[in-house]
Amino acid sequence: MENQNLSEFDEIGIGLQPTVSSDSPPNPEKPTVVITENPEDPKPSKTTNQNNPPSPKKMVIGCLFFFFILFIILVVAMIFGLRAGEATIISFGLNPADFKNWTIGIVSIFFGLISLVSIISIVYHLGVRLLASKDAIFEKSRAAMKSLVSGIILVIALAIWYFVYSYVSRFEMKPPELPIEIVTNPAYTYELVSPIQIEFSAERITDKFKKAYDLVSYEWDKEGDGKIDATGQKVTIYFPDGGKNNGVYDVKLFIKMQPKGGGDTIAKDYSKTISISRQDLYGEIKVDRESGEIPLTIKFDADTIADPDDSRIINYSWDLDADGRPDRDGFLYRNTEWTFDTIGEHTVSLLVTSEDFDEKGNHETKTFTKKITVYEPVGSTDAEVWIETNTKKGFAPLSVNFSAQQKVINGKKAKIENYEWKIGDGLETIRGERAHYTFEKAGVYPVELTVTFVNGQIKHEMVEIVVTDESIAPKAIIKTEPTISAQYKTLTGRAPFKVKFDASQSEDADNNVVKYDWDFDGDGQWDAEGSIVEHQFLDSGNYKTTLRITDSDENESRAEINVKVGDENAVIDFGVNKLSGAAPLTVDFDASGSRVPKGKKIISYEWDFNPSLKGRDKQTFIYERSQTSHIFDSIGEHLVQLTLHADDGSEYFDTIKIVATYPSLNAEFSASRLSGNAPLGISFDASESTGKISKFEWIFNDGSTSAEKSPTHIFEKKGIYEVILKVHDSLSNVSQTSKTITVN
């Protein structure tokens, strides 16, 4: 009986053993049994529990339960996000519509997985029940119960899925609407540095209206002067300087659209502000040609490079062989030439220095580059090409035929690899020796021809096509003072003959003339712009003066008159390099352009500075040469009188006004020392500052300030202090500078 009980305990793994009497003989077939202190406690020892690994089934169930809880937390959080509203979702940088779709997707994945697992469980346990033997009643019952539980879970999951999906679908989440505005590249259009090219796009505006309207035209006016500077949905506009409004451009976009299905055309306008905070040197290097055969001599011209505030260029430094060292350096090298004796593409650099100063006190500089291509001598490099057209001007619609022509050299034409025509501002690109295009609307269209020769040489030619609207073309009318002869359309006078031209009475159907151009001498170059201008004809002769007026639709009209100028009178030309500037102001005068009537000769030039002064204050100089310079030290207006003395004793004089202004505001100071041991006393002096200073402001960055011109300050504690000086003028302009003080 005892052996049987022991076997049962051994079978279930319990280490309980019965007490054995000391009188009982030992049983050699059974091992000696150790009696536990508590035979009624069936628990296994701690050593046995530590050696048992965790059940894999329990680990899987635990992981699944953990992910189940995470899914529930995620779904609940997203639902609360939808309830919080679109503004809250957008504040996290999310798209409300996408957030709603993500929520529905996660809910569907979560409950879809639960449903799928439930269906698999139902099918599996039904299969187990059907395949079990008839005697396995317990197994069949247990399989049926598990199938039932899985079915209940499936129904609950589908029900919750339906209600959650319906609840989430109720929220109306719209994607955040982009503002209907002009988009630019760069996007930030304030505090820019000119010259700069900016890309403008009307895509957002187009997206807003394209469903209901057909967009007819896009017209861009960069300065708000009524002149159309570009057309198209996407354009690039060049800003060379700060313009006429202190660096602020109010770029206007005019859009015309027509309702789909017909209807009257409507117009809308939008604007974008461009702010130029600093103007850089602008212009480009001009060359007589950009490519040619080796050896290639190129003439370089920097005449078009200028400072936007009309400050003087003081130095030109050319690096012509790209070795990083100047080959031509100095003010006199505004124009130069160089011979390239190696084949390839060469980059020429020009460092231009202005008399202006930057924020660090250095002269403003800018580097300009030009690429020159030198190739092997294959065929003729002197080939000339030009464009021939059947017409260059007419009323819309205007059909124009273009033909590329080439000069024959030594009985041969150079071989051409490619012709490319660029019509208008991105209207069309045509390849071939000939091209045809019909311009449907009024405007001025540049047409560029690019010819590529087989030897790599490239030639560019351009022609301008002017298309006008016959019904609204303006009519140019010239009025003059003195009055022109209506019968002969001729104006007569003696040289130098000063004439006032007036085009303000020109006629236009819609009263939108935006430009008046004048060619006074008939050379084909436009000499002035404006509705009312003045011009002085210095030499005797007959002149054809032409007026061209242009309206906002690029329609134009011209009118001509003849000007007959007789024998000349004396001409007094001061030839000043500047009329105003900061004192002390140095002005160079060059009267070599002055002249007296024919038959006489200038023998001396008398310069009288401030002719109203008397006695010792009067400054009069007589020179045989025509050039002189003078320094105006005092602030204010100064009259200068130039008298020409002729060889027959006659005199001719005129006056000019020079204005000396206060120097530009510039903060500068000196310090008695820059370092020392605490306590450290230092004297500061702002006498080097320039301009009409109304207030001094010192910031010592140890908690102390001063408004004196030359303060003394004691730094009590060890440290490094940046001492800042700000100078103010009466117009609220501020200039500042700083120095670092080290206190040991």
Residue 575 covered by a domain: no
Of the residues 516, 545, 568, the one at which a domain ends: 568
175 inside domain: no
DSSP one-letter code for 447: E
Same domain, 133 and 82: yes
210: its two tokens: 């394209």
Does some domain include residue 614? yes
Residues 461 and 479 in one domain: no
Identify whether residues 476 and 463 lie together within a single domain: no
Tell me, yes or no, whether 306 and 318 share the same domain.
Answer: yes
CA–CA gap between residue 215 and residue 204 (Å, rounded) = 13
Question: Of 448, 451, 450, 375, whose CA–CA distance to 413 is shortest?
Answer: 451
Give pLDDT tens digits for 9-41.
344 444 444 444 444 445 444 444 444 444 444
Q: How far is CA 324 from the centre of its chain?
A: 29
Please tell me whether the overall predicted TM-score, pTM, comes out greater than 0.85 for this model: no
**End-to-end CA, the chain:** 101
Q: Are residues 63 and 2 in the same domain?
A: no
Contact predicate 96/174, CB 8 Å: yes
- CATH number of the domain where residue 187 is located: 2.60.40
Q: Examine the fold and report which residue of 264, 279, 294 is the final residue of a domain before the chain moves on.
A: 279
Instruction: Examine the domain organization and report whether 138 and 207 are in the same domain.
Output: no
Measured distance CA(387)–CA(503) in Å, rounded = 34
Please, are residues 646 and 607 in contact by the beta-carbon 8 Å criterion?
Answer: no
Q: pLDDT band at residue 382, thresholds of 50, 70 and 90?
A: low
pLDDT for 48 = 45
Pick from 14-23, 123-132, 428-437: least confident: 14-23
Q: Note whether residue 135 is domain-resident.
A: yes
CA distances to 484, 494, 500, 643 from 568, in Å: 20, 6, 18, 18
Q: What angle do CA 546, 550, 551 make, to 5 degrees?
A: 155
Tell whether 23 is covered by a domain.
yes
Per the structure, the complete domain to which residue 22 belongs is given by 1-45
Percentage of residues in the chain with pLDDT exceeding 70? 86
Q: Rounded CA gap, 444 and 415, in Å?
A: 32
Query: Nearest-5° angle of CA 282, CA 285, CA 288?
Result: 150
Q: In a 3-state reduction of DSSP, which class is residue 448?
A: strand
Does 632 fall in a domain? yes
Q: 169, 204, 219: which is the final residue of a domain? A: 169
pLDDT of residue 330 exceeding 70, the answer is yes
> What would the pLDDT profile of 651-671 be if each residue is shown by its tens digit?
888 889 998 888 888 899 999
Q: Which residues contact 171 (CB under 8 A, 6 or more apart)?
A: 82, 83, 100
Q: What number of other Cβ atoms are within 10 A of residue 457's Cβ?
A: 24
CA 17 to chain centre: 94
Q: What pLDDT, on the 0 to 100 scale, is given for residue 589?
A: 92
Sheet containing 497-502: which strands, arranged edge to edge? 479-481, 497-502, 532-537
* pLDDT score of 378 more than 70: no
> Are residue 603 and residue 521 in the same domain, yes or no?
no
pLDDT of residue 1: 43
CA distance 228 to 214: 21
Interatomic CA distance for residues 65 and 502, integer angstroms: 92
What's the pLDDT score for residue 39?
A: 47
For residue 145, the model assigns a pLDDT of 87
Sheet of 192-194, strand order: 192-194, 266-279, 248-259, 213-221, 230-231
Q: How confident is the model at residue 486 (pLDDT cuts 50, 70, 90)?
A: low
> What is the chain's length?
744
The number of domains in the chain is 8
Pair 258, 301 in one domain: no
Q: Are 257 and 300 members of one domain?
A: no
Banded pLDDT at 548 (limits 50, 70, 90): very high
Phi and psi for 362 in degrees, rounded to 5?
-100, 155
154 and 199 together in one domain? no
Q: How far apart are CA 458 and CA 372, in angstroms?
A: 12
The domain that holds 433 is classified in CATH as 2.60.40.10
E strands, 323-415, are 328-330, 335-340, 344-357, 363-375, 385-389, 393-395, 398-406
Q: Judge whether 52 lies within some domain.
A: no
Residues 6+ apart with CB under 8 A from 259: 212, 213, 214, 266
Number of neighbouring beta carbons within 10 Å of residue 390: 11
Is the pLDDT score of 415 beyond 80? no
Return the SS3 of 165: helix
Shared-domain flag, residues 587 and 539:
no
**655 and 561, same domain (yes or no):** no
Residue listed under structure tokens 């679908």? 169
In a domain, 630, yes or no: yes
Average pLDDT, the chain: 81
